[in-house]
Chain A
Amino acid sequence: MTIAIIDDEQHCIDHLVHLLQPHMDHVEIVSFSTVDQAIKGVDSLRPDIVFLDVQLHDNTGFDFLSSVSYRDFSLIFTTAYEKYAIEAFKFSAIAYLLKPVDRDDFEFAFQKAMDKTEQAQLHERINVLLSNVSKGNSPKRISVPHKEGYVFLLVDHVVRCQADVNYTHIYTSDGKKYTASKTLKHFEQLLAGHQFFRTHNSHLINLGFVTSYHKNGYAVLSDGAKIEVSTRRRDAFIKACAEV
C-alpha cells in the first residue's frame, strides 16, 4: 500500500511518518512538499491514501486536487486552524485531521481510509469541496451520506431536516425527501451560520422558507409544512427570523 504525504513543513511529514510506524510492515510512504511535485508524483505513483495539507507555500491543497488527474485514493486533509477549510470539509464529507495530530484520531481516520470507505464517490465529493472553497459566491453544496452512498444537495434548496432517532430526513424545495445516516445534531452544527434554526428537538429549518409564524407555537414553511417551535426557542426564533 502506498501512502502520499503532501505538506510543506518537514516536521509535519515527520510526525505523520511517526504515527504510521506501527503500520510500517505493509505501507510505503512518499512525501511531497510542493503542489507541482505532488501532482507529478501522485499521477505516476497512484497512492492508496493521500494526506494533504491545506496551506502549501503560496498554493493550497485545493489547487492540487483541481489539477491532479488520478483521484482514486482515500483522501485525508490535515490542517492546524483554517476555519473556512474545516467547514468546507464537513460540507463535502471529506475526512480531515487537526494538527498536531492526535494518535487516536489518526488511527480512526487511517482505519477508515484503509477500508476504502473514504473512497466512495470521492470524485463528486471533491467537486463539491472545490466549488465550496472557490472564490466568488457560487452556491454552497453539502454531501449527505445515506444508505446507497452520497447525495449532493444545494444548501439553499434544503427546506428542513427532521430527526428520526439516529437518522435525519432532509426535505428539499423540489418536494423530495432524503434519509441521511447522521443525527440531526450533525446537520445542526454543519448548517449553523447558513440561516438554519433548530426550532425543536426534532426539527431544523431553513429560515429562508418560513412564510409565517403562529403564536400558538408553530411555523409554516413554503411547502405547507407546519413545524413546531418549542416554547424555549420562541423568542430566539422570532429574533432569528427578523435577522434573515
Chain B
Amino acid sequence: MYIHDSLTIDQTIAPMKRLLCMLSFVAISPYVAAQQFQRELDSLSQLMETQSVTDTATVDLRNHYTKQALFANPSDTTLLDFAEKTLEISQKMGYGRGTMLAYERMALIYQYSFSNPYKAQEFYHKALSLMEEDKKLQPYGWSIYGGIGTLYYEQEEYGKALDFFKRVLKHDKNLELTATANMANIYGSINQLDSAILYYNKALSLEQVKSNPTYKANLHSNLSLIYGQDGQVDSALVSAEKSMALIDDYGIEFVRPTAYANASMAYLGNNDYELAEKYAKLSLELSDAQGNLFLQKSAWGTLADVYAAKGDFSDALEAYKKFSVLKDSLNGQNRRVEINRKQLEFDFEKERTVTKAEIERQTTLKRATLLGGGGLLLASIFGFMLYKRRRDAVEQKKEAEFRAMVSDTELKALRAQMNPHFIFNSLNSIGDYILKNDTGTAMEYLTKFAKLMRMVLENSEFKEIPLEDDLKFLELYLQVEAKRQPGRFTYGITVEEGLDVQNILVPPLLLQPFIENSIWHGFAQKSEQGHISIGIAKQGDMLLCTVDDDGMGWQAESGVPTTKKSFGVAITESRLEILNTQKNAEGKLNITHKGRDKGTRVEVSLPLETIF
C-alpha cells in the first residue's frame, strides 16, 4: 500500500513542477571565466570613473556594466540605483537608444534580483513604447520581447511566451540561441517532449553555443530533465553529467542550482536515491543563498519527489508543502491577472495611438476627396476600419476594467446590505419608544437590532454563506421591521421541501434590498395590512429566490413609473453579473410589476452551489 502511495503522490505532483532553468534573455557575449569576468567588471567601473563628460558612450557603458554585473551577481540590489541613474542621464541627453536599454535593464533587475514581475513588466513596456515610436531603435529592441516572453514563462502563460519568442527568432539572428533555448523550455513545460528535445539539440548545434559554456551547461541540464520525462533515463544521466562537468570546469555559479536539481531528477530516474537526495539538497542550499524564489520552489519540488520515492512520506509532505507555498506566492492568480491587465492596458494605449494617427490621416484624406470623388469611397472604407478598431480597443479596455469593478462592487454591496437609512430609522424608532416611556419595547427593539448588526458584520466577511444563515438573517430583519411598524405587514418564508439549506451556498444578503423596497415603497401608502412572501426553490440547476408582495408596486409612490433603477436593484444586477462571469452561469434578476395596487414580484435565479 505504501508503494502505491508513493506512486500516487508522484503522479499528482510531477506535472506541476518542471525545473527548466530559464536563461535570462540577454544577447550572448563570449564567455569569460569567473575571475576574468570580475576583472572585466572592474575595468568597466574604472572606465566609468575616468570619464568625466557624460555622452552617449557613457550611457552605453553604464548599460553594458549593469547587465554584466546583474548576471555576475543577481542578488546585488544596489544595481537598481545605478540603473536609475543611467536612465536619468540618458533621458536628460535625449538619447533614445540609451533610454530604451536603461528601461530594459531596470526590468531585468526587477525580474531577476527582486522577483517582481509587475515592475519588470512595467519597465519592459516603457522600453517597448520607445521602440514603437522610433523605428531606428528596432534592431536593438528584440531582447525586450524576449524579456517579456520570459516573464510570461515564469507565470506559466506558455502560449503567450511562445508567441514572443517566435517573434524574436524571426527578427533577430543574434538572439537565435536564447530564443531557441527558451522555446525548447516551453515545449518541455507543456509536455511536448519531442519538440523540446528537437529544439534543445538545435540550440546545442548552433555556432553561438560553442563559445559559451554557460549556455551549453544549461542546455544539457534542461535536456537531461526532458529525457528523464520522456523515459530515456540513460540519456538523461549522460546530459546531466555533461552539464555538471562544464559547471565545475568553468565555475558557472549561475546555472549550478538548477543543474543540481535536474541532476537529482536524473539520479532519481536511475533509482540512485543517495545521489538524488544529495544534489537536491545542494540545489536548495544554493538557491536559498541566491534568494531566488523560483529556484527554491523547484528545489523543494525535487526534494519532495526524492523523499516520496524513498518512502519517506512525512518529509515528502513537508517538502511538498514548502513547494506549494512558494508556488502559490510566485504565481498567485492576482499576479497573473495583474500582468494580463498591464498587457491589456498597453495594447489599448497602442491602439489608441494608432487610431489617433489614423484620424489625422483621415482628415487629410477628406480634404483629398474634395478634389477627387474616388477618394470618397476610400475614406468611407477607412472610416469603417477606424470604427472597428476603436470598437476593439474599447472592448479591450472594458475587459481590463472588469476586474477592477469586481472588488468595487463587492464593497458597495456590503454597504447596500445595510442601508444607512435603515440604521438611522431604527435608532429613531428606539428614541421614539423612549420618549413614549415604552422602555420595554425600546429595549426589545434595541436588542433585536443589535443582533441584526452582529449578523451583518459576521456575514459580510464571506463571499458566500450557507442558505440557512442567510434565511436566519432575513427572518430577523423582517422581525425587526415588523416590530418597527406594527400592523403594517405580515410575512412568510417558504423553502422548498428537500432543499439542504446547510449545504447550499448563496451570496450573503442578496434579497435584503428587495424586501426593503417592498416594506418602504410597497406598503408605505397602503391602507390595509400587506404581506410579503419569500420563496426559495430549486429549478433545474438553478436556485430560484423570490420576493413577492401585495403592495402598491414600487413605482406607484410617485404616480409615474420611474425609469431610474433603485440602488439596491443596480447593485444586485452587478453582483449577478460578476457571479455569472466568474462561474460561467446565467443568473438572472427579473422584476414583475403586477400592476397598480397589486404589488411587485422579484425573482432572482442563481447557479445552485453547494459546499459538498
- A135 contacts the other chain (Cβ, under 8 Å)? no
> Footprint of A on B, CB under 8 Å?
5, 8-9, 11-12, 313-314, 317, 320-321, 324-325, 328, 440, 443-444, 446-448, 450-451, 454, 502-503, 610-612
> A residues 189-244 with Cβ under 8 Å of B?
198, 200-201, 210-216, 220, 230, 232-233, 238-239, 241-244
Category for how many chain A residues contact B: 20 to 34
| B502–A100 CB distance below 8 A | no
The residue on A at minimum CB distance from B326 is A242
| A212–B447 CB distance below 8 A | no
| B447–A238 CB distance below 8 A | no
Count of A-B residue pairs with CB < 8 Å: 60
18 further contact pairs, Cβ within 8 A, besides A211-B314, A213-B12:
A18-B440, A98-B450, A98-B454, A100-B443, A102-B448, A103-B443, A211-B313, A212-B5, A212-B8, A212-B9, A212-B317, A215-B8, A215-B11, A233-B612, A242-B321, A242-B324, A243-B321, A244-B321
One of B317, B325, B612 near A232 (C-beta < 8 A)? B612
**A interface: dominant SS:** mixed
- A71 contacts the other chain (Cβ, under 8 Å)? no
| B448–A243 CB distance below 8 A | no
Determine the distance from Cα of A215 to Cα of B16 in the docked complex, in whole angstroms: 14
- A140 contacts the other chain (Cβ, under 8 Å)? no
List chain A residues, Cβ under 8 A from B328. Answer: 239, 242
Instruction: State how many angstroms separate the Cβ of B175 from the closest Cβ of chain A.
Output: 38
- A101 contacts the other chain (Cβ, under 8 Å)? yes
One of B5, B447, B503 near A101 (C-beta < 8 A)? B447
| B324–A238 CB distance below 8 A | yes
A212-B5, A243-B325 given; A200·B612 CB < 8 A:
yes
| A201–B503 CB distance below 8 A | yes
Most buried by A among B8, B454, B612: B612
- A90 contacts the other chain (Cβ, under 8 Å)? no
List chain B residues, Cβ under 8 A from A241. Answer: 321, 324
- A185 contacts the other chain (Cβ, under 8 Å)? yes
| B610–A103 CB distance below 8 A | no
Determine the distance from Cα of A102 to Cα of B448 in the docked complex, in whole angstroms: 7
**B interface: dominant SS:** helix
List chain B residues, Cβ under 8 A from A185. Answer: 502
- A15 contacts the other chain (Cβ, under 8 Å)? yes
**What are 5 A-B residue pairs whose CB atoms fall within 8 Å in the complex?**
A15-B443, A103-B447, A212-B5, A212-B313, A230-B612
Determine the distance from Cα of A243 to Cα of B440 in the docked complex, in whole angstroms: 50
The 7 closest A-B pairs by CB, nearest first: A242-B324, A102-B447, A201-B612, A230-B612, A100-B447, A215-B12, A242-B321
The residue on B at minimum CB distance from A242 is B324
> A residues 62-112 with Cβ under 8 Å of B?
98, 100-103
The residue on B at minimum CB distance from A106 is B447
Interface string of A14-54 (1 = CB under 8 A from B): 01001000000000000000000000000000000000000
Instruction: State how many angstroms separate the Cβ of A188 from the closest Cβ of chain B.
Output: 10
List chain A residues, Cβ under 8 A from B448. Answer: 102
List chain A residues, Cβ under 8 A from B320. Answer: 242
Most buried by B among A212, A216, A243: A212
List chain A residues, Cβ under 8 A from B447. Answer: 100-103
Instruction: State how many angstroms separate the Cβ of A166 from the closest Cβ of chain B.
Output: 12
> A residues 111-161 with Cβ under 8 Å of B?
none
List chain A residues, Cβ under 8 A from B444. Answer: 103
The residue on B at minimum CB distance from A102 is B447
List chain A residues, Cβ under 8 A from B612. Answer: 200-201, 230, 232-233
Determine the distance from Cα of A232 to Cα of B12 in the docked complex, in whole angstroms: 17
A98-B454, A232-B611, A242-B325 given; A211·B446 CB < 8 A:
no
